Amino acid sequence: MNKEQLKIQLEKIIRKLAVLTLKKYQPGIIAVTGSVGKTSTKEAIFSVLKDSRFVRATHGNFNNELGLPLTILGDYREIIGGAFWFKVIFISFFKLVFKFKYPEILILEYAADKPGDIKNLLDVARPQIGVITAVGDVPAHVEFYSGPDAVAREKSKILEILPSTGFAVLNVDDKYVAEMKSRTKAYVMSYGFGPEAAIQITNFENRMEDGKPVGIAFKLNYGGSFVPVRIDNCFGKPQAYAAAAAAAVGFAFGLNLVKVSEALRDYQSPAQRTKMMPAIKDSFLIDDSYNASPASMKAVIELAQSLKFKRKIAVLGDMLEIGKYTIEAHEELGRLIPEVFDILVTVGPRSKFIAESASKKGMPIKNIFSFETSEDARLKVQEIMKKGDLVIIKGSHAMHLEKVVEEIKVV
């Protein structure tokens, strides 16, 4: 048996064990999907529920055909060597034979990199609550779909199988998600900044104290009442969306506004998702290097615009897997850069379209630097930084912009 055949057999065993585990322990399942914001939303939901329920959530990127069953089988955080799989199988069999304490609720991410992925995951775990974060005009992984409508149809499969007693939690600020209301028989709980949202975010701000960014503040409005929410070391509107989605889930489990607001104080944005940290030369760094799509790129640019600093430096990498939209999407981002940033550093061949577009829009050539790899860029970023700067770092995961983060952050 070769490695590929072994992998296929392993996946079948893990999937079967996950299905049997769910049948035995029958936890409630919350499914989180969307083109952006899945991980932040999952973590926010975990923060809201963890004090009142026994909850397990997906770790890292365990959101595919292998990672989702692994989350069902145990609280695994990483895969370590070949012996890992034998350990998982042995322990899982043991838990099927004997009764063990098992989470009441599983919070699972459902990734959809290509058509059919959602159905494949639903065959393992059918949720009672479905959360859709956003699709956007140019979704992540749209390269493998005909367009955003096809991506939306794929995501909405989660809603189609929800029971009538279930809940569909939808971001109605995203037009593709808002249109999914008709595709489910579950009770719809909408959230967003717009007035049509049942759970509305208002009075949003990125807070600064003594010239230093400290977090976000906003109000959550629901059922004629509101509650203020403050989350430290957390930045940008995407994090407020995650909190609002988590609030909707909390309401579905009987929590009130005050309980939700208190629980959200413990929420922290995941690693490499708009994490603010001190950087060299008495400057600040926002690490958003985990991944990138046009929607999330625009969100981090909007975040930078809202913060007051002497200079702002954008370090932007390629956005991958967006197919026919590649040139247009990078050029569109470039047109936004001169209004917000003083210096632009691009990493990768596609992001050169950002640089060219920024130049055409009026950014001086002397303030634009383009590199093929993050390894090439990291020393230049360090060189051009000055005291009091804000550096934003964002790009697709494969661009490895975490190397630039490691170069300039204060250890």
Q: Where are the domains of the chain?
A: 3-264, 275-408
Average pLDDT rounded to a whole number, residues 330-337: 98
**Range with the poorest average pLDDT among 6-10, 114-118, 131-135:** 6-10
Over 90: is that where the pLDDT of 3 sits? no
Neighbours of 293 (CB within 10 A): 23
Report the relative pairing of strands 212-222 and 225-232 from DSSP bridges. Answer: antiparallel
Contacts of 5 (CB under 8 A, 6+ apart): none
Instruction: Look at residue 330 in the predicted model and tell me its pLDDT.
Output: 98
Strands (E), 17-113: 28-33, 55-57, 105-109
Which pTM does this prediction carry? 0.95
C-alpha distances (whole Å) from 175 to each of 114, 150, 264, 295 are 21, 14, 27, 13
- pLDDT attached to residue 111: 94
Please report the pLDDT score of residue 126 as a whole number.
98
Residues paired with 394 in a beta bridge:
288, 316
Q: How confident is the model at residue 197 (pLDDT cuts 50, 70, 90)?
A: very high
Is pLDDT of 348 > 70? yes
Q: What does the pLDDT read at residue 85?
A: 86
Token couple for 276: 């603010």
Which pLDDT does position 79 carry in this prediction? 79
pLDDT of residue 107: 98
Please state the rounded mean pLDDT for residues 67-76. Answer: 94
Which residues have C-beta within 8 Å of that of residue 333, sequence separation ≥ 6? 294, 297, 298, 301, 316, 354, 357
Mean per-residue pLDDT, 346-352: 98
Digit-coded pLDDT (tens) for 247-263: 999 999 999 999 999 99
For the structural domain made of 275-408, what CATH number should be given?
A: 3.90.190.20
Structural contact between residues 183 and 164, judged by C-beta atoms closer than 8 angstroms? no
Q: Mean pLDDT over residues 65-76, rounded?
A: 93
Q: Which residue has the higher pLDDT, 2 or 319?
A: 319
Read off the tokens for 214: 């400290």
Residue 81 has pLDDT above 80, yes or no: no
Residue 284: the pLDDT is: 95
Work out the average pLDDT over 268-293.
Answer: 93
Distance of CA 77 to the CA centre of its chain: 17
Distance CA 366, CA 347 (A): 16
> Cα 60 vs. chain centroid, distance in angstroms?
11
pLDDT band at 1 (very low <50, low <70, confident <90, very high): low
Q: Which residues make beta-bridge pairs with 346?
A: 316, 370
Single out the residue of 200, 202, 149, 144 nearest to residue 175, CA to CA.
149
pLDDT at 303: 96
Q: Model confidence over 117-143: pLDDT tens digits?
A: 999 999 999 999 999 999 999 998 999
| The predicted structure's pLDDT at residue 214 | 93
**What is the average pLDDT score of the chain?**
95
Q: How much is the average pLDDT of 10-23?
A: 95
Q: What is the pLDDT of residues 32-53, one digit of tens each?
A: 999 999 999 999 999 999 999 9
Could you check whether 3-264 and 275-408 share the same CATH topology? no
Sign of dihedral through CA atoms 157, 160, 161, 166? positive
CATH of domain 3-264: 3.40.1190.10
Output the six-digit token pair for 287. 């690490």
